[in-house]
Amino acid sequence: MANQHVEEQRKFHDLLTRFDTGMLITHTGSMGLHARPMAVAQVEDNCDLWFLTGLDSPKIDEIRYNDNVLVTFQNKRDEFITLSGRAELVRNADKIDELWHESFKVWFPQGQTDPNLVLLHVRTEQGEFWDNTGASKLSYMLESLRAYASGDTPNIQEGTQHGKLNL
C-alpha cells in the first residue's frame, strides 16, 4: 500500500511539473471565492508550490482571512490537476534568490529586492489528477466510444487516468 502511495505521488508530481501556470483560488469572506492565474516558481518533491506575489495584491488579505486555498491546472483537454492546501506568506531573501527568474521583473521592477515582493508557499494537503495523455488518451478514447455505443458512462482507470491522494 505504501508503494502505491509513493507511485501515485510520483505520478502526481510528474504531472504537476508539466504546468507553468495555475489558477490560485482564495476565500474572500462575504464575497465568496476569487481565482487568478499565477506563474509557478517551484514545485517541491512533496508537491508543495511556490509563487511570487506582491504585498499590495488582494490575495494577501484573502490568505490572511483564510489560508485554505485551491490551485487548479489544465492543459488543453488532456491533463488536469487540482490541489488543496494552506498558503503562507514567506519573506526569505535566499529563497527569493533561488526562485528568481528574469521574467518576474515585469511584476517586480526592482528585482529580488523589490519591497513589494513576497513568496507564497502552498503546503499541499490533497491532490487529484486526470491524465488522458499517451496510452491513457487512446484508452480513454476507446472506452468513451464503447460507453457511447452501449449507452453507459466511461470506466476510468483509477490510478492511471484519475487519482486522488493525500499529500
**Weakest mean pLDDT among 89-93, 98-102, 112-116, 127-131:** 127-131
> DSSP letters of 42-106?
EE-TTS-EEEEEETTSHHHHHHHH--EEEEEEEETTTEEEEEEEEEEEE--HHHHHHH--GGGGG
* 56-84 pLDDT per residue, tens: 999 999 999 999 999 999 988 789 999 99
pLDDT tens-digit readout, 15-31: 999 999 999 999 997 77
Cβ pair 8, 165 in contact under 8 A: yes
pLDDT tens-digit series, residues 89-100: 999 999 999 999
More confident residue, 76 or 88: 88
139 φ, ψ (degrees, to nearest 5): -60, -45
Assigned architecture for domain 2-133+162-166: Roll (2.30)
Quick one: cell of 76?
488543453
Stretch 101-106: mean pLDDT, rounded?
93
Identify the pLDDT of residue 135: 45
List pLDDT tens digits, range 133-167. Answer: 654 544 555 555 566 677 777 666 555 677 888 88
What is d(CA 103, CA 144) in angstroms, rounded to the nearest whole number?
41
Global model pTM greater than 0.85: no
Name the residue ranges covered by the structural domains of the chain: 2-133+162-166
The number of C-alpha atoms within 13 Å of 52 and in the hemisphere containing its C-beta is 27
Residues of the chain with pLDDT > 90: what percent? Answer: 65
The rounded distance, in Å, linking the Cα atoms of 20 and 8 is 21
Q: How far is CA 77 from CA 59, 74, 84, 131, 163, in A?
A: 28, 7, 21, 9, 17
- Contact predicate 129/84, CB 8 Å: no
Helix H or strand E encompassing 38:
strand 32-39
